[in-house]
Structure formats: structure tokens, C-alpha cells
């Protein structure tokens, strides 16, 4: 199923993200986590591509398992930084052969002191999107940043670049994590004013341990509201309490989004089926 069709259908749609193992020895554990999350009946599951391409070889394999063995629509990630143009063509060919018709096209985070782009790489996600569109009838998603891309000079510039991506043939957008829903509502207002009308899926990250909070915020540029900082400060040294508090905070965000008529929500579940299951339990009557 094309994800855009699912997003435009009736009801509330919750999706989850998984990432391939860093080494082949972790493949079976990732499959087990994926199988457990699939039992929660997500609208779709996305599979990341991996920084530097180190885990990318398993993206198609896991996406195929999700779609064909588990019966859940799969969304495969592709990134500019991790791929040469030849690699993209090869992955797209594999996706076609495996019946995967949904791709999330990303530039990817560029490590410091790395030459980018090389002559055979895409500079921007818009170039990757254009190339994917030329290679088949895919449903293509892209990323967006409610608080502004960390590298953009200002939010107007960020939205201008986002419009360029959408104009290349993007069907839907998924946001970077955020912890204050007001950023998302304001972002929706601003992009709609600029003619970006595709569905925008808020990406919610349940923060379940102290180390994850610091690292994730440094990478994404997301601001931690005072309310969440107090939670992290108080519970951060107690792993069980921090997990429960992080799940509760993410659930509260999702409930607020649904109450404001947001019907499609993506959970960055970090290969943790217990976290995904707890959120679904908390929403059992809300999304029924």
C-alpha cells in the first residue's frame, strides 16, 4: 500500500520506526523487535538507512520482511550522504524487485571534517527526490524541521528549501523530533501559507534515558521545554522511572496532537517494542 493512501484514509494512524543493526550479529534481535512492534498494528513501519551506509545493506531486507512477512506497509529510507548515485540506483532497483513502493528521501547528517558532496553524490535531498521520481512510481516522503533546520540561516530560508523538495514530487513530510507541540502547530501555519499542502506527520521521540536526551537534542537541535527538563533532571538517574516518565510525556504530546485534529503520528520507537506497546496501551480507547 502507498503510504499517502493510508494517510488520507479515515481514522488515526500511528506508525513506528526501526533501524538496522550496526553489525550482522544484531540482525536477529532487530527482527524480533520488529516482529513485536508489528503486532501492535501500526499503519506502517519505516526502516532507516544508517549513517555512512554502515547499516544500509539490511534496509531493503528488513523492509521486505515487514511488508511481506508481517503484512505492514514498509517505508525504506534513502540518504544522500550515505549513498553515491550508483548506490541509489541499485537500492531503488532492489526496492522495486521486493515490491517496496514507499521511500523516505533524506540528505542525512553530515559528520564534521568530511568532504561532501563528492562528485558522484547528491548535494541536496531535492536532487535525490527528483532522481527517485524518475526511476519509478514511488510514494516519496521527505523530512522537515518544525524548529528550523539547524543549518538554515532562518526559518524562511528553511521553508523555501522545503518547498523545493515538495515541488520535486514529495507526497508527504515527516518532522524531526520536537518536544513542544506549539512549534509544530506554528510550523504547519507557516508552510501552508507558502503553498505546501502535502500531509505533515509529526515525529514523536519518547525519551527514555538521560544519555539519549542529550545526544538526540544535540543532533536535532530540538529545544527541551522547561517542563521536560524538570522531568529529565528528576528522573534521569532512575532508568525505570525515566522510561515511564518519557513514555508518559510522549503520550501526552500525542493526545494533544490528536485533540487538535492531527490524525497521522510517527513514533521514533528506537527498536524498543516495549516503548511502542506502552504508548499504544495509553492510547487504546483514543485510537480505537
Q: Which residues participate in catalysis according to the annotation? A: 17
Q: Which residues contact 152 (CB under 8 A, 6 or more apart)?
A: 145, 158, 161
Beta strands in the chain (DSSP E): 13-18, 45-47, 74-79, 102-106, 139-144, 172-175, 200-201, 203-204, 264-267
Q: Which residues pair with 201 in a beta bridge?
A: 174
Q: Tell me the C-alpha to C-alpha distance, in Å, between residue 175 and each of 4, 122, 200, 201, 204.
A: 16, 21, 7, 6, 9
Report the alpha-carbon distance of residue 128 to residue 112 in Å, rounded.
22
DSSP 117: S
Q: Omega before 117 cis (within 30°)? A: yes
The secondary element (H helix, E strand) that includes residue 89 is helix 85-97
Report the alpha-carbon distance of residue 160 to residue 143 in Å, rounded.
14
- Residue located via cell numbers 481514522: 11
74-90 core/surface letters (b: 16 or more CB in 10 A; e: else): bbbbbbbbbbbeeebee
Please check whether residue 66 is in contact with residue 47, taking contact to mean a CB–CB distance below 8 angstroms.
yes
Amino acid at each position: 500500500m502507498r503510504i499517502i493512501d493510508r494517510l488520507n484514509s479515515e481514522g488515526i494512524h500511528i506508525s513506528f520506526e526501526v533501524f538496522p543493526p550496526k553489525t550482522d550479529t544484531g540482525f536477529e534481535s532487530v527482527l524480533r523487535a520488529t516482529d513485536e512492534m508489528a503486532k501492535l498494528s501500526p499503519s506502517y513501519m519505516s526502516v532507516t538507512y544508517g549513517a555512512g551506509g554502515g547499516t544500509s545493506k539490511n534496509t531493503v531486507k528488513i523492509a521486505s520482511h515487514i511488508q511481506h512477512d508481517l503484512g505492514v506497509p514498509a517505508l525504506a529510507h534513502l540518504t544522500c550522504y550515505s549513498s553515491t548515485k550508483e548506490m541509489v540506483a541499485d537500492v531503488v532497483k532492489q526496492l522495486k524487485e521486493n515490491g517496496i513502493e514507499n521511500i523516505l528521501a533524506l540528505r542525512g547528517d553530515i559528520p564534521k571534517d568530511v568532504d561532501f558532496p563528492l562528485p558522484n553524490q547528491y548535494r541536496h535531498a531535492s536532487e535525490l527526490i527528483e532522481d527517485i521520481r524518475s526511476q519509478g512510481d514511488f510514494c516519496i516522503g521527505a523530512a522537515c524541521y518544525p524548529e528550523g533546520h539547524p543549518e538554515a540561516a532562518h526559518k524562511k530560508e528553511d521553508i523555501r528549501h522545503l518547498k523545493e523538495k515538495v515541488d520535486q514530487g514529495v507526497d508527504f513530510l515527516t518532522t524531526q523530533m520536537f518536544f513542544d507541540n506549539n512549534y509544530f502547530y506554528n510550523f504547519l501555519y507557516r508552510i501552508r501559507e507558502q503553498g505546501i499542502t502535502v500531509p505533515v506527520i509529526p515525529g514523536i521521540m519518547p525519551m527514555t534515558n538521560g544519555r539519549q536526551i542529550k545526544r538526540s537534542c544535540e543532533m536535532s537541535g530540538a529545544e527541551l521545554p522547561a517542563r521536560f527538563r524538570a522531568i529529565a533532571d528528576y528522573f534521569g538517574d532512575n532508568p525505570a522511572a525515566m522510561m515511564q516518565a518519557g513514555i508518559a510525556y510522549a503520550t501526552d504530546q500525542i493526545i494533544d496532537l490528536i485533540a487538535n485534529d492531527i490524525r497521522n503520528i510517527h513514533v521514533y520507537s528506537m527498536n524498543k517494542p516495549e516503548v511502542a506497546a506502552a504508548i499504544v496501551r495509553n492510547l487504546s480507547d483514543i485510537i480505537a
